[in-house]
Each structure stands twice: as C-alpha cells, then as structure tokens.
Structure 1
Amino acid sequence: MTENTDTRDTDATGAQDTDATPDSIATDGGTASADAGGSTTSDSGSDAHGCSTADSDGEVAEEIAIISFGRKLDTAEEIKAGLADDYDLIDIVEYHGDVFEEHWGEYDCFVGLMASGIAMRKTAPLLDDKWDDPAVVVVDEELTWAIPLTGGHHGANGVANDLSKLGAVPAMTTASEAAGKQGVESRAKAVDTHVVNGDSTVATNLAVLNEELGPVERLDGPNAVLVDDDVTVLKRNTESGVVLGTGSVSGADKVQFLTAWRAALDEADLTSADVEFVATATRKEGEQGLLDAAREFGVGVAYLDKESLLEFEGPTPSRSKELIGWPGIAEASAKAAGRDHELVVEKRSHDDAVTVAVGR
C-alpha cells in the first residue's frame, strides 16, 4: 500500500513537510491510491483521485436506517447521535418481521441493532446485486461489535468503522481489509470518485491483496483508452471543487492542520464544503493529525510521489529541494492533484508546523 517512513521535508518557512507511498487503478485523470482512513497515493503527473467521501453511488453509505427492537431504542438514539455528523440521513425504524423488505432500496445501509442471525435470515432473500443492494451492518446492544454482513466495500465497512467512535470494534471480513489493506472501492471513496465498471474489482482487489496493484493512472481528456476487463475505471463524483495541498512537521496535531486549512480557504472565500480531498507527499502516510483533520472535513487524503511533485513544483522557493531533493510539498501537491493543475492560494504556513496551498 503506502510506504511508511518518518522522513521530514523542510520548506522555506521552516515548516517541515512529511510524506508516504502508492498503490493502483485507472482514473479519469493521473496515478493514485488510497488508504483506509480515506487516503490515496498518486504518481507521475497524477491526480490524487485514487481512492474519503462521495455521494450515494453504491460505494458510500450516506443514508442509514437503524433497525431496532423497541427495548433497544435508547441505544439506537445513541448511535444516531454519535453518527449524525457523518451521514446525510439517519432514521430509526422499529423492528417487525417485514421491516427490511418494506424499506429495501430506501437506504444505503441498514444498521441492525440485533443478533446477526436475525438480520441474515431477513435480508438474504432480498439480496440481488452487490452494486445495487444496500449494505447491512449489525451491532449488539452493548455496542461491543460492529459487523458488516453484506456490502463491506459498498458502505458497510465505513459504517462499522464509524461505529468504533461509540466503542464498537469493527469486525471486517472482506479479504483486503482483513489483511490490513485497502480495497479498490475504499480507495475510490477516499478521493471522491466512483467505480464505473464494478465487475473489474474482483481482479483488482485480488491484486491489492497480493500487493500487485500499482498506482492509479490518471488520463486527462479529451482522450480515448482501450482497457481490458481487469482494469478498474474511476470517475470523479463532481466537476468542481478544490484540493488542499499540505505539508507539516512530524507530529503536527489536528487543530494545527484545521487552523491552517481554514485560513487558506477563507482567503479564497471557500469553505470545507468546497474541498474534494487533501493531497500531500507519500512520506506523510500515518500522520495522525492530518488524518484526523481530513476526517473532520469529511474528505480523503491522497499521497503523491516525489516525481509527481517535481513535475508540478510551485512558485514558492523551498529549502527541501536543495536538502533532500523534494519540492515544497504544499504547492506541488495542490497543483499535481488539482484537475486543472492551478494554484488558487499559494503556500501559507501556520505555527511553523503546517503548510497549505489550495489547488484546482
């Protein structure tokens, strides 16, 4: 997946940029890959679109129904309150024998506050196609376990992960996640894209499992490309939005990232709602403050390699180029990952800890 190093990259302001590594698929524009918390890696003139948060496109759950027995409604309310900021709609529906059939197709994901056997028996006859069926997760009354039953790569794993905020342990059984790797659908979600040809993911997820999937290749149009059945094609969910390019000293915290990002967005009269995803260098994977800040923004993190950043070096001088050969990460990431490779806001520094630039 992504390389995990602790090297740091110092720019002209004294702030240090860190980074991480890649993986693969084909997008409508560069090379990229994403990681579980919504991160991706991008290569060679890439668009960081490769693998945190999209529409209800069959890969991401945004509208949820919590199915609960009457005696467990207090716990259902607790779940709803805990997940309220993460989803567009959360309804609580009291259980009866035909509840799943009655509401099938109305929600992206059902959270069954019940024994897994009940949910399995009631939903099994309704299942048709994994790309169209709602995801199903079960959680026990004590919020000890969150178990995706179906649609792990189509929203269930994400919901189970979010339930961990309430203390539940997410029990993933999809092969890539069970092996500590990120499936293709999760990578697509991380950079606000969706999978166009779902059948291809059998092969590409197997490649993820075997560590054979390279970076996501970006192809800018107008163009035409011929691919075989084992190439997964990703397409952006939106035609607008900006990318935050960011670097930091090792250990910068969530508040420092958020403060820097919001200041840069304010300068361009933008808000977090305008951000497609965050881009940084491959050496930044695992930087917890960055991941926490991106999660608060509701976006993914894309990691770009050295060659990609050198191709899109920004205008602000950076000492890191002469010291270790890397360009300033904030501007280069914003340019490389942006759909038009343009800077909206040049590099800004906060607390000598975080650098940020805004790209389009």
Structure 2
Amino acid sequence: MSTDDTKSDGHCATPDSDGEVAEEIAIVSFERKLETAEEIRSGLAGRYERIDVIEYHTDVFAEHWGAYDCFVGLMASGIAMRKTAPLLDDKWDDPAVVVIDEELTWAIPITGGHHGANQVAKDLASLGAIPAMTTASEAAGKRGVEARARAMDAHVVNGDSTVATNLAVLDDELGPVARLDGPRAVLVGDDVTVLKRNEAEGVVVGTGSVSGASRESFLAAWERALAAAGYGFDDVEFVATATRKADEEGLLAAADELGLGVVTFDRETLLEYEGPTPSKSKRLIGWPGVSEASAIAGGREHELVVEKIGYENEVTVAIGR
C-alpha cells in the first residue's frame, strides 16, 4: 500500500449533508495491475488529500468500507458491483465507487455519482479514460445541485431535497441559485435544496469577456488581477460571471484547468450588486459590468477588492471577497 498525503486542490471536496468530505481515495487493484494502479495514483496526485493503492482480495471492500470516501476499482464493473452491493446503505453515507478498466479506456461511476464518483471519473480523464456518466443531469449535459454546490464551495444541507431539485434541473425549471444573507431564519419545503458555504475563506474572480475569448487570455487576465491584490490561484473560491456567459468555452476551459468551479448570476442579481466602474453594456443591453458585479455578488462580504482590469480587449476581471 502507498499513500499520497499531498494537500487537495478542491476536487471532490464538497461535504455532504452529514458533513463528510470526499477527499480520501482508495485504488483497489489485482496484483498483476498494481503498477497501473500506481500510475493512476501518480496521475491524481495533488487533487486529493489521500490516495492509497490496495491489493484486491475477496473482502477488500468490506474491510475498508467507511475508511475512504471513494473507491476506484481497477477491475471489471461486475466484480465491484457484486462486492459492494451488500455494503450499500444510504447514498449520503456510502462511499462513492468508480471502476476503470485495465486499459484505462473507461471510467464508470457506479454509486455516489453526485458524491464524488463523477468528479473522480472526470479526473481520470486526464489519464485518457472516458468518463461514462449515467446520472441524469450529467447525461443531459446539465449541472445538478450538487455540482452547483461544489462550484460555489458549498455543501448540501438537506440531501433528500435534491431528488426534486435535480428533476427541476432536467426540466430547465430550477433557475439560478438564490443567495440569502443573514442573520435570518428560513422556512423551506422538501423541494428546496439548501446550500451552505464551506468554512474556508477566499476570494472570487469576477470575469467578463468578448465572445470567443481564449483560455490563455482568461488565465493571464485572472493571474494579473489576483497579483494586483496579492493573491494567487490557491486563494480563489470560484470564478463568477453572468448567466449569458455560462457557455463561454475559453472561460470554462481555463476554470477547468485550475480546478475551479464557475458560478453564474442572472441580470437581476448583478444589477443589485453593480460595481463602481461605468459599463457600456448597461446602456446597450441592460446588463451591468459583469466582472465587478459578479465579484461583489459572489463574495462573502460583497466587497470589491480589485476594480475591473481589462486584458487584451478580450477579458475583464475584478476580485471580490
């Protein structure tokens, strides 16, 4: 067995309703494929708090059940299914399970897709595996509420509500996440998912752009703005932008490269948190300057740390907290 204690960069680090965090990974492999398992461990190094390689035996899953947040089975899916099925109890408490074939062609989440398995499968794509998502929202190319929580560095408080809210995601009826600042008391029904931000503090990168801005431009613009405030990428909670920029390929690629979530705000929210720098977009299309407004809206304190900085007439950035 080998262990990687490198600090996690945030992948899969979203507490579930019981407060557990998917940061500790076990790669289970037959003896003949232990070398491949070590390659997987090396490929995932730095993304999780702990990664162990464990040699397979008949009771390996039962022996380590509860000791890890996610198992990666380097084996046929049938083996993993038969050995873990009797151990499953509750999706909010059970570890996630992903299988990957010996040729590293497919990474298939079996259980706990929204609780670590999907993210691990996506991370295994860096080794050449194709993530095979079967959870409804991911299969439809949409972000479920658990994914939205992860993007906002938050966790789901009332797990059972996600059945209704993820169905609303599939039907395009959920809309953006509403933000409520306290101290306040809130009464919600069973079909309202409550997200609570995690304890770690950080800054928010608010960003706008022209259509088609490159990944390189986003990365360079973000780095420049963060440096102006004395921060680095490790200090960033998430990237914030407008809903009309939600499909900007360069932005999404840059955020994915850094392991950051992207949170989008609708026009009404951005108007509420409009920044100090005048923007032609408000006069032309009714939207305030995206970078400052989204940085303020996303920050815990709604405070603008760095006003809008432009980069190559492609990307604008502001920093909030």
TM-score (norm 1): 0.81
Q: Which residue of 2 aligns with 1:55?
A: 13
- Return closer, same or farther for 1:68/1:53 CA change in 2, 3 Å cut-off: closer
Aligned partner of 1:318 among 279, 282, 292 = 279
Amino acid at match of 1:199: D
Checking the alignment, whether the CA contact within 8 Å between 1:61 and 1:156 is kept in structure 2 is: no
Separation in 1, partners of 2:54, 2:289: 51
What is the root-mean-square deviation in Å for CA atoms of aligned residues?
1.8
Aligned partner of 1:256 among 199, 214, 217 = 217
* 3-state SS of 1:181 partner: coil
Amino acid at match of 1:297: L
List gaps (5 residues or longer) in structure 2.
Answer: 1-9
- Return closer, same or farther for 1:204/1:219 CA change in 2, 3 Å cut-off: same
Separation in 1, partners of 2:39, 2:215: 25
Q: Which residue of 2 aligns with 1:291?
A: 252
* 3-state SS of 1:216 partner: coil
Checking the alignment, whether the CA contact within 8 Å between 1:53 and 1:60 is kept in structure 2 is: no
Q: Which residue of 1 aligns with 2:158?
A: 197
Query: Is 2:112 the counterpart of 1:151?
Result: yes
Checking the alignment, whether the CA contact within 8 Å between 2:205 and 2:238 is kept in structure 1 is: yes
Aligned partner of 1:102 among 63, 67, 70 = 63
1:186-225 alignment runs, 5 A limit: 186-225=147-186
* 3-state SS of 2:73 partner: strand
- Return closer, same or farther for 1:70/1:239 CA change in 2, 3 Å cut-off: closer
* 3-state SS of 2:39 partner: helix
Shifted more, 208-217 versus 233-242: the winner is 208-217
Q: Which residue of 2 aligns with 1:71?
A: 32
* 3-state SS of 1:260 partner: helix
Separation in 2, partners of 1:333, 1:155: 28
Checking the alignment, whether the CA contact within 8 Å between 1:53 and 1:192 is kept in structure 2 is: no
Q: Report the count of equivalent residues.
A: 309
Separation in 1, partners of 2:112, 2:40: 20
- Return closer, same or farther for 1:270/1:252 CA change in 2, 3 Å cut-off: same
- Return closer, same or farther for 1:246/1:166 CA change in 2, 3 Å cut-off: same
Shifted more, 233-242 versus 133-142: the winner is 233-242
Deviation at 1:56, TM superposition (A): 5.0
Separation in 1, partners of 2:24, 2:216: 29
Separation in 2, partners of 1:202, 1:305: 24
Q: Which residue of 1 aligns with 2:81?
A: 120
Q: Deviations over 1:172-208 (max 9, x none)?
A: 2222222332222111111111010111112212222
Checking the alignment, whether the CA contact within 8 Å between 1:56 and 1:108 is kept in structure 2 is: no
Separation in 1, partners of 2:253, 2:175: 26
Deviation at 1:60, TM superposition (A): 6.2
Deviation at 1:239, TM superposition (A): 5.3
Checking the alignment, whether the CA contact within 8 Å between 1:61 and 1:159 is kept in structure 2 is: no
Q: Which residue of 1 aligns with 2:319?
A: 358
Q: Which residue of 1 aligns with 2:140?
A: 179
* 3-state SS of 1:295 partner: helix
Q: Which residue of 1 aligns with 2:238?
A: 277
Separation in 2, partners of 1:185, 1:154: 8
Structure of higher RCO (CA pairs closer than 8 Å, 6+ residues apart): 1
Checking the alignment, whether the CA contact within 8 Å between 1:146 and 1:168 is kept in structure 2 is: yes
Amino acid at match of 2:15: D
Q: Which residue of 1 aligns with 2:41?
A: 80
TM-score (norm 2): 0.91
Separation in 2, partners of 1:114, 1:158: 19
- Return closer, same or farther for 1:60/1:282 CA change in 2, 3 Å cut-off: farther
Q: Deviations over 1:6-58 (max 9, x none)?
A: xxxxxxxxxxxxxxxxxxxxxxxxxxxxxxxxxxxxxxxxxxxxxx8563523
Separation in 1, partners of 2:219, 2:184: 37
Shifted more, 228-237 versus 163-172: the winner is 163-172
Moved over 4 A (4+): none
Separation in 2, partners of 1:54, 1:155: 5
Separation in 2, partners of 1:53, 1:215: 22
Checking the alignment, whether the CA contact within 8 Å between 2:91 and 2:112 is kept in structure 1 is: yes
Separation in 1, partners of 2:225, 2:274: 19
Q: Which residue of 1 aligns with 2:130?
A: 169
Amino acid at match of 1:242: V
Checking the alignment, whether the CA contact within 8 Å between 1:248 and 1:354 is kept in structure 2 is: yes
1:233-252 alignment runs, 5 A limit: 233-238=194-199, 240-252=201-213
* 3-state SS of 1:124 partner: helix
Checking the alignment, whether the CA contact within 8 Å between 1:53 and 1:300 is kept in structure 2 is: no
Q: Which residue of 1 aligns with 2:297?
A: 336
